[in-house]
Amino acid sequence: LLLEACIQENVMSFIYTSTVEVMGPNPRGESIINGNEDTIYDSTLKFSYSKTKKEAEERTLQANGEVLQNGGRLATCALRPTYIYGDGCRFLLGHMRDGIQNRDVLYRMSEREALVNPVYVGNVAYGHLQAARSLKDPQKRNIIGGKFYFISDDTPPVSYSDFNHIVMSPLGFSIQEKLPLPLRFFYMLGFFLETLCMMLRPFIRIVPPVSRQLLTLFNTKFTFSYQKAKKDLGYEPRYSWDEARKRTTEWLASQLPLERKNLRSK
C-alpha cells in the first residue's frame, strides 16, 4: 500500500527499514563473522517476523524504477540494522525488569562466545538520513536504487546477554556466570513449550517464552560490517560507542526507580 501510494503521489524515494534477521541465523545456527552485502548464506527463516520483513524488503527493492504518475521513477533501498539498542529500548527495559525480580542478577540466555554487533538507535536514524540524502542525489540514486545495506556501528561485538550487563552493570546489576541449563536442555525445553502452545492454540493463543529459534538467535555468532553503507551512502556512526553506552545507561537509570516501585506494588 505504501509503495502504491508513492507511485500515485509522485514520491520519488522510498527507504524500507529492514533487519539483519532477514539474513538469519538459520535453524542450524551457522555463523557469519563480519559479513557484508555479498555474503552467501542459507537464510532459512522460521520466525514470522523475519519472514514478513524479508517479503517487505523484496517488494521494496523490486519496486525500484517503477514509473510514477508524473512520469518520474521511484528509487528504493532497504537498510538492515543489526540489534538496535538505546534510549527507549523496550527489550532492554524488559531484561532490566527480569533482573530486578531476580535480585538484581541478569539472566543469561546466550553463551559468551555468541558474538553479535548491536547498533545504537541514533546511528540507525543517521543511516536513514544519509540514505534519504543519497537517493535525492541524481548520481548516487542510480547506484543505491534497488540495493540493501547493513547498518552497524563501532559497538564492540558481544553476546546479547553480556551486552545487557555492560549497559546495566553501572546500575548495580550482575549477571549469571553461565546458562542456567546446558544449551541442549534449553532446546528440549523450547521444543516442549512450542508443542504445548500448539496443542492449546484451538483454545488459547500463547507465545512460548522460550523457543528454539530464539535460542538460535541468542547463541549464534552473527556480525556485519557497515563498509558498503559508508562507501555508497556516506554513512559513518554519528555516536561513538562511549557516548551510545552512556546515553543508554542514563536512560535505564531514569527508568529504574519506577520499575522497582511498580514491581514492589504487585
Task: To the nearest 10°, report the CA torsion of 189, 193, 196, 198.
Answer: -130
Contacts of 21 (CB under 8 A, 6+ apart): 45, 47, 49, 50, 53, 217
Instruction: Tell me how far apart the alpha carbons of residues 251 and 45 are, in angstroms, rounded to a whole number.
Output: 33
Q: Is 94 left (phi over 0), alpha (psi -120 to 50) or beta?
A: alpha
Q: At what angle do helices 241-264 and 121-136 cross, to 10 degrees?
A: 130
Is 49 a residue of the active site?
A: yes
Please pick, among 49, 149, 187, 226, the residue that the annotation labels catalytic.
49
The DSSP bridge pattern shows strands 75-81 and 147-151 to be parallel
What positions carry a catalytic annotation?
49
